[in-house]
Amino acid sequence: MLFSCPFFTNSMASIFTTFMFIFFLIWISRRVQRTATKQRSVLPEAGGAWPLIGHLHRLGRSKPAHITLGNMAEKYGPIFTIWLGVHRTIIVSSWEIAKECFTTNDKAFANRPKGLALEILGYNYALIGFSPYGPYWRQMRKMVTLEVLSNHRLETLKHIRQAEVNDSIKEIHEQLVKNNNVLLEMERWLESTALNIICRMVVGQRFGKATTKVENDRNDQCRKALRKFMDLSGEFVVSDALPYLRRLDVGGSEKAMKKTAKELDDVTKEWLEEHKQRKISGGVKEHQDFMDVMLSIVTDDDETSSHDVDTIVKATCLNLILAASDTSTITLTWALSLLLNNPETITKAQEELDIHIGRERQVKESDMKNLRKVELQTRKLPHLKFISLLAFMLKYMHNLTRVEEEIVRILSKRLRD
């Protein structure tokens, strides 16, 4: 008796055969590449790599990645290589070698590999933190340093920081007087304060300035988008390791990134249009914010970048807001939790504040030079606990082992401890 399957036609058989042939060619090319690499490289390669995916299966288990890499370091030494999908990757677990990477050879490690988040969320690599090392990166870094981070500029904008901190504390006091009790989520309060400060410095307006429910909802949506940006930018994306799977959008990362990018772009576009209209009408204030400065400096004639002026301005301003608000919130939240768990530290700080400041006025930035114990405890806080576990994705721009354009991941085994 003959059995026929209508689904398995000749065309499907041809497709299946073609797929298997392509898979075989990829597997052979990987084997040849690894053999050639091993012959040229003096660095040991971790065992257990699978075809196509490399060592990804070992990093995707129940153990955190830094624990697995720490175990590998004990076996293969302080510097070795693994395969993250199609990318050969160097793992460094020695602070001496890491120091060499970030000091003596810092320019060689100044670049970053391409990735989905850097492309979609980073305005196609226009964000300073995501852009490759080159003339554009150096120019934007210089502009940010002079117009935002210089001592003169920080002193000029000191009134913004003081005003926002005072307003934030005043809001708490008003709630306390009104309700005789305040239930405060410190992380959100710190985030709101940091956002208001950096937004006034960058775009000249408070982030939390909402007079209607619609504006308040929009601010909440933007706040969530900023948080989503940070989450997605640090998320592992399958197509970064296995580029041939990008069309499938495994895990839905690309869809989520495009949605978040659009939400943030709508906000930055609105800010940009307001500044353009104000510039046309001649209503620019004497004390320009950073977006005003960028609009007066950046031109389409700039040959250091292929991006248009609007993209550069939006990307740079968004980069500053993201960097300042997120890192400040995380650091201050951890610092507060550590202080609460070390009451003797709080007692010492309060005693010094009572001696040098008293309780009749608020502490000013200029008072810090007299508060030695407070300054010392502030410096010690980050050493009590890591603020966050960071993995730096860097791209080695020179011929490390005669294999062009290797991706370099520097992870410290110290994180394991």
Q: pLDDT for 174-205, tens place per residue?
A: 888 888 777 888 888 888 888 999 999 999 88
Q: pTM of the entire structure?
A: 0.77
**Per-residue pLDDT tens digits for 7-65:** 445 566 666 666 666 666 666 666 666 665 554 557 888 988 888 889 988 887 778 88
Burial of 231 (0-12, 13-18, 19+ CB in 10 A): exposed
What is the identity of the amino acid at 170? K
pLDDT top residue among 412 and 221 = 221
Q: What is the distance between the alpha carbons of residues 51 and 83, in angstroms, rounded to a whole number? A: 10
- Closest to 318 (Cα-Cα) out of 130, 162, 111: 130
CATH level 3 topology of 135-341: Cytochrome p450 (1.10.630)
Helical residues (DSSP H) of 180-289, grouped into ranges: 186-202, 213-233, 238-241, 253-280
| Domain ranges across the chain | 27-109+396-416, 135-341
Residue pair 109/408 in contact (Cβ under 8 Å)? The answer is: yes
Pull the structure tokens for residue 124: 């196609």
Phi, psi for 81 (deg, rounded to 5): -120, 150
Q: What average pLDDT does the segment 149-161 reach?
A: 85
